[in-house]
Structure 1
Amino acid sequence: MDPKSLQSSPILQGIEDLNAWRSAVVEQLHGLSNLTSELGLLPGSVILHLETLAFEIERDSLRLALVGEFSRGKTELINALFFADQGTRLLPSGTGQTTMCPVEIRGAPQGRPGLQLLPIASRAMDVSIEKLKRAGSAWVRLAYDSAQQAHERSAMLKSLTETTCVTIEEARRLGLCPPLNRTPKDRERSICPSCGLGKVLIPRWRHAQLFLPHPILDAGLTILDTPGLNAIGAEPELTFGMLADADAVLFVLGIDTGVTQSDLTIWDQYLRRNKEQPQLVLLNKIDTLWDELRDPFEIEDEISMQVEKTAQRLGIDAERVLPVSGQKALLARIRGDAHLLEKSGLPQLEASIARLLIPARRAVLQERCTALVERVQRDQQQLLQEQDRAIAVQMESIQALKERTSEKVPRLVAQHKAMLASFDQDRQRFEARKADFRAAVDRALLAPLSPDRFDARIGAARSEMLAAWTTAGIVERFRSFFAEAIAHFDTALRGSAEVNAQIAGEYAALQERYRLPSLSTIPYAIMPRRAELLAMAENYERFGMMLEIAVNTQSAVVRKAFLTVAGKVRDFIVETRRDAEGWVDEMMAVMNRQLELYRQKAEEELDALENIAVAMGNIDTRLQQLRANRAALAERSAALEQIANRLHRALQGKSLD
C-alpha cells in the first residue's frame, strides 16, 4: 500500500486548511475582544459574544453522513475512504455483516479509543440520544487497542452487526413491530427462523459511538454511518437531529439495482427537503459491470447511462452523481494499485467531498463571524466618532471663550451648571422609567415566548397526537402546533413594536434636548426570527405526510417524532427569548453608557469653564489636553480598524502579512 495515500487525501488536506483558517480567525477574534475590552465602549455582553464565538469556532467539527438502504456498501466506502491505512477492513462490511444501528465515528477523546453501544431497550425511555450521550451508565463500553491483531479488532467491531430475538410484544413496545390492529392476519403469528414462534429479530443496539486515533478524525471529521430505511423511519431523532445537522450527506445507491422504491423513499422523505445541505449521490459497486469479455467503452457508456438515469429519477444534476466501487477502492489502497484505484472512482469522490464539505462549512462560519464583527466594529467606531465630535465642539467652545472677555465666563459657568442640574433631573426621571420599560418587556415581549407555555402546549399536543391514527390527523396537529407557535411570535412581534416605540420615545426626548447620539441597538427586530420559524414549519409539515410509516408501526414512534420536533421548536423559542433578553440588557447598558458619557463630558466642560474663570491662562493648557485626547481617540480608531481589517482578511483566507 502507498504510505502517502492518506497524507495526500484531499479530504485531510482540506480539513487541515480549514483548521488553519479557523485558528487564524479565532486569534483575530480574541484580538478584537481584547481591544473591545480595553476601549470600554460596549457592554460586557458583546465581549462575551466574541469570546463565545471564538470558542465555538475553535471546537467546531465537520459531520459527514452516509445514507442509503441496507447492503448498498456504505460501510465499505467508509473503509476505503478513511481506513485503508489499516491494511484490512476496519469496519465489518462482508457478506451477512450489515451494520444494524447508526454509528458515529469520531477522533479518540484524550487519546482513549473505544466503542460505546447503546442498548435497544433505551427506546422505551422518553430520553433523546443526545441526552443519553451524557449518561455514561446507559452505554456498554468495549476497549479498542490499535496494537491488537486485526482479527481481534474485527471481532470487537462485529458488535455493530448484532441482532437479538425478542417477543412480538416486546418489539411492539420498542416501536419496532406493527401494533396488533395494524398487522395483517396472516402475520399475527410471526415465526423467526432462528428464534421460533411469536418472536422477531431486532437490532441489539440502538446507537454506537466509535472513537479512533486517526489523522482525519483527529483533524475534526465525524462520520455517521446509517442503517437502511426501516431504522431511519423508526428513529425520528436520527432524521431530525443527526441527518439534518450533518454538514454534508453521501446518498449511496447500488449501480446493480439503480434507484429502487425504498431508495426513492429515503431520498424524498429524508434528504430532498433539506435543500441547503450539500449532498452527493454515489452509484456504488460499478465493479459488478466490469467484464473482460465486454468492450471497456461499452461498460463506460453503460455507467454513464446509469448516472443520467439516476440524476433524472432523483431530479438533480448529473454532476452530483458519482460512480464508484468501494470494494475495489479498498483493495487498490491496500495493494497500492494506482490503476485500480483510479478505475474505482475513489480519487474523484475524495476530491468532490473536499469541494463539497470544506467550503460549505467555512461559508457558514464566515457568515456568523462577519455579522458580529461588522456590528462590533460599527458600534465602536460610531461611539469613537461621537467622542471625537464632542471634543471638537468643546475645543471650539474653549477657543471662542479665549476670544471673549473674562466678564462673560462667570455667566457661562452659571448656564452650564443650570444645564447640568436639568440633565440630572431628566436622567433621574429616565431612571425611574426603567422599571416601566422592564415591565413592558416582560409583559409584551418575553411573556409570549415563555418556555412554560410551550411546555404545557407540548404536553397537550402530544396527547392529541397520540389520539390521531390517520396521516391527515397527524398533519393537522403538526399544523396546529406550529400555528400556535407562530401566533405567540406574532404577539411578541406586536410587543416588540410597542416596547421599541416606548423606549425610543423616552430616549428621543433626551437625545433631542442634549444632542445624544442615536443607538443602533434600537429597535429590536424579531421579524427575521419569525421568518425562520415559518421556514421550520414548512420543512416539518411534510414530515407529518410521511409519518404513515410511523402510524403503521407504533404510537411510541409518533410520540418520539413529535417530541423531537417539539423540542426543536422549544429550543428555538428559548433561543429567541434569550436573544430578546440579551437585547434588553445590551440596550439598557448602552443607554446608561451614553448618559454617563454625556455626564462626564458636561462635568469636564464645567471644570474647564471654572478653571477658565479662575485663570484665563489655563485655556491653552486645556486646548493642548483636548488635542492629546483627540490624538488618542484617532489611535484607538485606527487600532480598531486595523484589527477589524485583519479579521476580515482572515475570514476571506487572505494573508495577514
Structure 2
Amino acid sequence: MEFKTQLYEYAQWRHEVAQTIEMYREWSDRCGLSNRKSSETLSNMLQTLNGERVTLAFAGEFSRGKTELINALFFAEMGGRLLPVTTERTTMCPAELFYDAATPGYMRLLNIETRLEDTSLIEYRDNSSSWKQIDLDYDSPAQLQEAFKELFAVKKVSQEHAKNLGLWNEVEASELGLLDAEEVEIPCWRYALINLSHPLLKQGLCILDTPGLSALGIEPELTLNILPAAAAIIFVLAADRGITKRDFKVWHYYINNVRGLAKIEIAVVMNKMDMLMDEHLDTAEYDRSIADHVDNSAKMLGFNRQLIFPVSARQALVAKNKHDVALLEKSHLAGLESYLADNVVLPRYTALKQKITLNIDFLLSESLSLSEEKYQYALDQLEEFKKIDCDNAEMMDHLLIETRERQQAYLLNVKNFQDSYRFFAVQSEVLVDSLSKITVDAVIQRSKDELIHNLTTYHLKKKIQLLFDELRDLLQHAVEVNNETGNLTKEIHKKFGHEYGFKDVELKLFSLSEYQFQLECILEEGEIFRSSAKTTMTEQTVVVKKLYSLIISKVRKVFNRAHQDAKYWRKMVFLPLMHQIQDHKKQIDSRLHMLHKISGSKEDVAENIAFLEERLMSLGKQRSELQTIIGAIKLDEYAALIPRID
C-alpha cells in the first residue's frame, strides 16, 4: 500500500474512533453513568486522536538534497516545488511543517538571538509572541515561494557575538580561512514553524527538515527531544560525495544514538543517484554502481543494507510532475515510499490503538459491570414482584423488614468505607505531594544556584550528574510511598469487594516504573550529547548550559506527568466501588418505595410489574447500545463480554 493511502486510512480510522467515543460519551450521559472524571478521560482520548501526528524527520549535512526529497515524496502534485531549492543557498534553520485547523496558514520564525536565553524551544513554541509571523496563502504558490526565502536568511555579526550564541568554532574557522575575519555569517532564524493546509498535512503528517551538523550540534533539543519524538528519521546522503567526515559525525553522534529506541524507524537515503549515471555506462553497469554504493555505505555506517535506499529526488520530482512512469521507476523512489507505508504508519496505528484501549478499558469495564448489575437487579426484582401476594400481610412484612435490614447494612457499609477512604486520602496525598512541582523545583533550584559559580564544562557536567542523583533519589522515595499506598488500596478493595458483597472490579494500581525509565533515559541521552558536543562547532560552556536547560525542561515534564497521573489515579481508583455503593442505595430505596406502594393493592402490584418490565426493556436496550458502541470502536474483546438481549 502506498504511504499516502496508508496515511489517509489511518486518519479515517482515527476519525471513526473519535466519533464512536463521542457516542459513548452521549450514552454515558443519557444512562446516568458519566461523571467529571470519566468526562476528562474521554476528552483526553479525543484530544489524542484528533491531535495525532506522524512525524518524519529528515536529517543530513548541507546540500544532500533533503528538501528536494521532501518535495518529491509529498508535494509533487503541486506541479513544482513547494519548498524552495536553490544552488546558491541551503536551508539555514530547522523547519517543521504541519497542519493546525485552529489557525490560518502561517510561518513563524524564531530569532537566532533567543539562543542567549535559557528558554527551551518547547517553551518558546507555546508563546506565539516570541516569533515573527508571516501569513501564508496555500492557494498562491508564488506567495509561498517568496515567504519561504526566509529559510535561507543569514546575517553577519562579530566573532564575539557569534561565540556568545554558540555559533563560532575556531577550529572550523581556521579550516575555512575565516579565523581573522571581523564578521562571520550566521542564520537569522533558530527554528521555523510552518502551518499549511496541504491534504497530506491535514491527515496528520508532520515533516521536520534539519539543516545539517551545525544545527544538530548547537541545539540539544533537536537531538534529545525532537528527533526521538519522530516516527521515523530519514538520514540523507549524496551519492556524488560519498560519506564525508561531516556525514559520519551526523550519523554517529546524532542519528545512531536513537537507533535503540524501538518506536523510531531509521532509513538511509543515498540521494542524487542520477549523478552517477555516465553516458558510457549501460543499465546493468549503472545498477551495479548503485549496488556498490549501497554496500559500501552499509559497511561504513554499520547499518542494514535493506534500509538503505538509492534515490534520485530530482528525477522523481520531474517524473511526478510530468507523469513519466519510466522516469519515476528510474528514480527508485518507490522503494522508499513502500518502506514509509509498511514501517511507519502501521506501527503508529497499532500503538495508538493500544493506547486508546488502555485508556478506555477502565470506563468500559465499569460501564459493563454497572449495566449488567442494573439489568440483573431489575430482572430479579421483576421475578420477585410477580410472586408477591399483596393480601399476604406476613409476606409483605417480611419483605419490608428484609429491605430495611439491607438499608441498615448499606449505611454501615458506607460508614466503614468512608473511614477507610479517609486513611487512603491521607496516604495518597503524601504520594501526590512527593511528585509535586514544589518538591521537584526545590531540588532544581539548589542545583541552579550552584551552577552559577561553575562555568567550566567539567564542573557543569559534574553538577548535572549530582542533580540527577538527587532527582533519582526523589523519585525512589515516591516509589516507596506508592508501594505503601498500593497496599492500602488493595486492602480496602478486598474488604469491600468480598466482605460486603460488592461485585469485583479490576483494581488498577499506580506504577512509577515508566517515569523511572524516562528519567534514566534523560540522563543517558544527556551524557551522550555532552560527549558528542566535543566534536561540534561551538563553544563548550554554551552547549552544556543549553543542555542543562533542556534537561531541566524534560525532567520537569516527567515529574509533572507522574504528578498528574498520580492525582488522576487517586481520583479514579475507587470510583467503580463508589458507583456500586451509590447504585446499591438507589436499588434499596426503589425497592422500599415499591413495597410501600403496593401494600394491600393488586392494582399497584400490576402497575409496578409493568413498570419493571418497561425498565427491563430500557436497560436491555442500553446494553445493546453499549455493545454496538464497543463493536464500532473495534475493541472486540469487550463486545464478547456483553450478554446479547434476545
Deviation at 1:271, TM superposition (A): 2.5
**Equivalent of 1:166 in 154, 157, 178:** 157
Q: Cα–Cα, structure 1 residues 206 and 579, in superposed 2: closer, same or farther, change >3 Å?
A: same
Q: Which moved more, 1:433-442 or 1:409-418?
A: 409-418
Deviation at 1:363, TM superposition (A): 2.2
Distance 2:197 2:602 in 1: 76
Aligned residues of 1:18 and 1:362 also touching (Cα < 8 A): yes
Aligned residues of 1:373 and 1:644 also touching (Cα < 8 A): no
Cα deviation 1:550-607 (Å, max 9, x = unaligned) = 7962423222222223212211211121112112222354333222212222223334
Counterpart position of 1:34: 26
Counterpart position of 1:270: 254
Distance 1:539 1:576 in 2: 20
Distance 1:528 1:160 in 2: 39
SS at match of 2:573: helix
**Equivalent of 1:375 in 362, 369, 376:** 362
SS at match of 1:648: coil
Tell me the amino acid that sits aligned with residue 418 of structure 2. E
Tell me the amino acid that sits aligned with residue 514 of structure 1. Y
2:43 corresponds to 1:51: yes
Aligned residues of 2:158 and 2:183 also touching (Cα < 8 A): yes
**Equivalent of 2:85 in 74, 87, 93:** 93
SS at match of 2:584: helix
Q: Which moved more, 1:280-289 or 1:261-270?
A: 261-270
Counterpart position of 1:648: 634
Tell me the amino acid that sits aligned with residue 177 of structure 1. W
- Give the aligned length: 633
Aligned residues of 1:163 and 1:201 also touching (Cα < 8 A): yes
Deviation at 1:235, TM superposition (A): 0.8
Tell me the amino acid that sits aligned with residue 168 of structure 2. C
Distance 1:190 1:198 in 2: 14
Q: Provide the alpha-carbon RMSD of the alignment.
A: 3.5
Counterpart position of 1:500: 486
Distance 2:613 2:516 in 1: 49
Deviation at 1:461, TM superposition (A): 3.4
Counterpart position of 1:293: 280
Counterpart position of 2:184: 200
Q: Cα–Cα, structure 1 residues 545 and 477, in superposed 2: closer, same or farther, change >3 Å?
A: farther
Tell me the amino acid that sits aligned with residue 30 of structure 1. E
Q: Cα–Cα, structure 1 residues 153 and 511, in superposed 2: closer, same or farther, change >3 Å?
A: closer
Counterpart position of 1:230: 214
2:117 corresponds to 1:125: yes
Deviation at 1:124, TM superposition (A): 1.0
Q: Cα–Cα, structure 1 residues 568 and 95, in superposed 2: closer, same or farther, change >3 Å?
A: same
2:307 corresponds to 1:320: yes
Aligned residues of 2:390 and 2:598 also touching (Cα < 8 A): no
| TM-score, reference length from structure 2 | 0.87
Q: Which moved more, 1:399-408 or 1:320-329?
A: 399-408
Q: Cα–Cα, structure 1 residues 111 and 607, in superposed 2: closer, same or farther, change >3 Å?
A: closer
Tell me the amino acid that sits aligned with residue 587 of structure 1. V
Q: Cα–Cα, structure 1 residues 523 and 619, in superposed 2: closer, same or farther, change >3 Å?
A: farther
Distance 2:196 2:398 in 1: 80
Tell me the amino acid that sits aligned with residue 303 of structure 2. I
Tell me the amino acid that sits aligned with residue 441 of structure 2. D
2:562 corresponds to 1:570: no
**Equivalent of 2:332 in 342, 345, 350:** 345
Q: Cα–Cα, structure 1 residues 83 and 643, in superposed 2: closer, same or farther, change >3 Å?
A: closer
Distance 2:492 2:636 in 1: 41
Aligned residues of 1:462 and 1:563 also touching (Cα < 8 A): no
SS at match of 1:380: helix
SS at match of 1:256: coil
Cα deviation 1:513-561 (Å, max 9, x = unaligned) = 5312233345334444444544555555533443434796242322222
Tell me the amino acid that sits aligned with residue 192 of structure 2. A
Tell me the amino acid that sits aligned with residue 43 of structure 1. N
Q: Cα–Cα, structure 1 residues 137 and 417, in superposed 2: closer, same or farther, change >3 Å?
A: closer
Distance 2:533 2:391 in 1: 85
Identity of aligned residues (%): 27
**Equivalent of 2:534 in 525, 541, 548:** 548
Distance 1:219 1:422 in 2: 56
User: Where do residues 351-366 of structure 1 align in structure 2 (5 Å cutoff)?
Assistant: 351-366=338-353
| TM-score, reference length from structure 1 | 0.85
Counterpart position of 1:5: none
Aligned residues of 1:117 and 1:205 also touching (Cα < 8 A): yes
Distance 2:383 2:78 in 1: 77
Q: Where in structure 2 are there 5+ consecutive unaligned residues?
A: 638-646
SS at match of 1:245: coil
Q: Which moved more, 1:488-497 or 1:299-308?
A: 488-497
2:52 corresponds to 1:60: yes
Distance 2:373 2:326 in 1: 68
Distance 1:419 1:85 in 2: 72
SS at match of 1:223: strand
Deviation at 1:252, TM superposition (A): 0.2
Counterpart position of 2:585: 599
Cα deviation 1:172-199 (Å, max 9, x = unaligned) = 2212225xxxx57x97999749xx7433
Counterpart position of 1:590: 576
Q: Which moved more, 1:246-255 or 1:396-405?
A: 396-405
Distance 2:48 2:521 in 1: 25
Distance 1:229 1:440 in 2: 50
Q: Which moved more, 1:65-74 or 1:512-521?
A: 512-521
2:268 corresponds to 1:281: yes
